[in-house]
Structure 1
Amino acid sequence: MTTAGDLGLFGPDSVTWKVHEELIVTLGGLRSLYLQALHPRAVAAIAQNSGYRSDPWGRLERTSDYVGTVLYGSTDEVERAASRIRRLHARMTATDPRTGETFRVDEPELLLWVHVAEVESFLTTARRAGLELTDDEVDRYYAEQVRAAELVGLDPSMVPATAAEVAGYYEAMRPQLGLTKDSAETALFLTVPPVPQSWGSRSLRLGLTLGPTRWAYLGIASTAFGLLPPWARKMYGGPGWQTTDMTADLSVRGLRLLMKGALAAMPQRYRVAPMRRQALERAGLS
Structure 2
Amino acid sequence: MTDTASSHPTSTGSDAVERDEDPAQPNSGTPSGPRFGPGSQFHRFSSDPRWALAMVRATVLEAAHPQIGAALIDNSTFVAHPWRRLRNTFLSLQRMMGADDHARQREAARLNRLHARLNGTDARNHPYDAMDPEVRAWVIATLFESTVTMCRLSGQPLEPTTIEELYAEFQAFLAAMGDQAGHLPPTLQEFWRYYDHMVEEELQNTEALRIILYKLFDHLPAPPVLEGLPTVWAAGRALAGPVIGAITVASLPEPFRRRAGLPEIPGGQALTHSAYLAIGLARFLPDGWIQPEAVAGLLTLSSDSDDPRARTIAAVRDGMKRAGALLRLITPLPAQPDPAEATAPRRSAEEFFHAVLDQTGDGYLDWPDLAAMARELSSRLDLDEPEETKLYHAYADWWKELQAALDTDGDGRISEEEYAAAVPSLAGPALIRVAEVLFDVTDADGNGSIDADEYRALFRTGFRRDTVGAGETYSRSAFVKDFLSFMSGRQRSSAYDSLLTEA
Amino acid at match of 1:139: E
TM-fit CA distance, 1:52: 1.4
Select 1:216's aligned residue among 236, 240, 261: 240
- The structure carrying a bigger helix percent of its residues is 1
Asked if 1:147 is matched to 2:172, the reply is: yes
Note if contact 1:92-1:104 (Cα within 8 Å) is conserved in structure 2.
Answer: yes
Select 2:249's aligned residue among 211, 221, 225: 225
TM-fit CA distance, 1:255: 2.2
CA spacing shift, 1:162–1:14, aligned 2, 3 Å: farther
Asked if 1:158 is matched to 2:190, the reply is: no
Partner Cα separation in structure 1 for residue 244 and residue 213 of structure 2: 14
Note if contact 1:19-1:123 (Cα within 8 Å) is conserved in structure 2.
Answer: no
Q: Secondary structure at the match of 2:204?
A: coil
Q: Which residue of 2 aligns with 1:64?
A: 90
Select 2:133's aligned residue among 99, 108, 111: 108
Note if contact 2:214-2:245 (Cα within 8 Å) is conserved in structure 1.
Answer: no
Q: Secondary structure at the match of 2:120?
A: strand
Partner Cα separation in structure 2 for residue 225 and residue 269 of structure 1: 31
CA spacing shift, 1:129–1:82, aligned 2, 3 Å: same
Q: Which residue of 2 aligns with 1:283?
A: none
Select 1:39's aligned residue among 44, 65, 77: 65
Select 1:95's aligned residue among 121, 130, 147: 121
Asked if 1:260 is matched to 2:286, the reply is: no
Q: Deviations over 1:69-96 (max 9, x none)?
A: 2222411111111110001111221213
TM-fit CA distance, 1:219: 2.0
CA spacing shift, 1:236–1:207, aligned 2, 3 Å: farther
Partner Cα separation in structure 2 for residue 82 and residue 181 of structure 1: 28
Q: Which residue of 1 aligns with 2:108?
A: 82
Asked if 1:234 is matched to 2:258, the reply is: yes
Q: Which residue of 2 aligns with 1:200?
A: 227
> Which structure has the larger Rg over C-alpha atoms?
2
Query: Which stretch of the first structure deviates more once superposed, 122-131 or 52-61?
Result: 122-131
CA spacing shift, 1:55–1:131, aligned 2, 3 Å: same
Note if contact 1:37-1:187 (Cα within 8 Å) is conserved in structure 2.
Answer: no
Q: Deviations over 1:92-116 (max 9, x none)?
A: 2121333x14432211121111111
How many residues are treated as equivalent by the alignment?
260
Select 1:52's aligned residue among 78, 85, 89: 78
Query: Structure with the greater relative contact order (CA < 8 A, sep ≥ 6): 1 or 2?
Result: 1
Amino acid at match of 1:182: A
Q: Which residue of 1 aligns with 2:195?
A: 170
TM-fit CA distance, 1:146: 0.3
Partner Cα separation in structure 2 for residue 183 and residue 101 of structure 1: 17
Note if contact 1:184-1:236 (Cα within 8 Å) is conserved in structure 2.
Answer: no
Note if contact 1:43-1:182 (Cα within 8 Å) is conserved in structure 2.
Answer: yes
Quote the sequence identity (%).
24
CA spacing shift, 1:190–1:177, aligned 2, 3 Å: same
TM-fit CA distance, 1:120: 1.0
CA spacing shift, 1:61–1:134, aligned 2, 3 Å: same
Partner Cα separation in structure 2 for residue 196 and residue 247 of structure 1: 25
TM-score by length of 1: 0.79
CA spacing shift, 1:182–1:27, aligned 2, 3 Å: closer
CA spacing shift, 1:163–1:20, aligned 2, 3 Å: farther
Partner Cα separation in structure 1 for residue 105 and residue 257 of structure 2: 36
CA spacing shift, 1:69–1:130, aligned 2, 3 Å: farther
Note if contact 1:138-1:162 (Cα within 8 Å) is conserved in structure 2.
Answer: no
Q: Which residue of 2 aligns with 1:187?
A: 213
Give me the CA root mean square deviation: 2.8
Select 1:126's aligned residue among 146, 151, 159: 151
Q: Secondary structure at the match of 2:261?
A: coil
Q: Deviations over 1:184-227 (max 9, x none)?
A: 223323432422485433xx223312x13441343233223221
Note if contact 2:148-2:158 (Cα within 8 Å) is conserved in structure 1.
Answer: no
Amino acid at match of 2:164: D
Q: Secondary structure at the match of 1:103?
A: strand
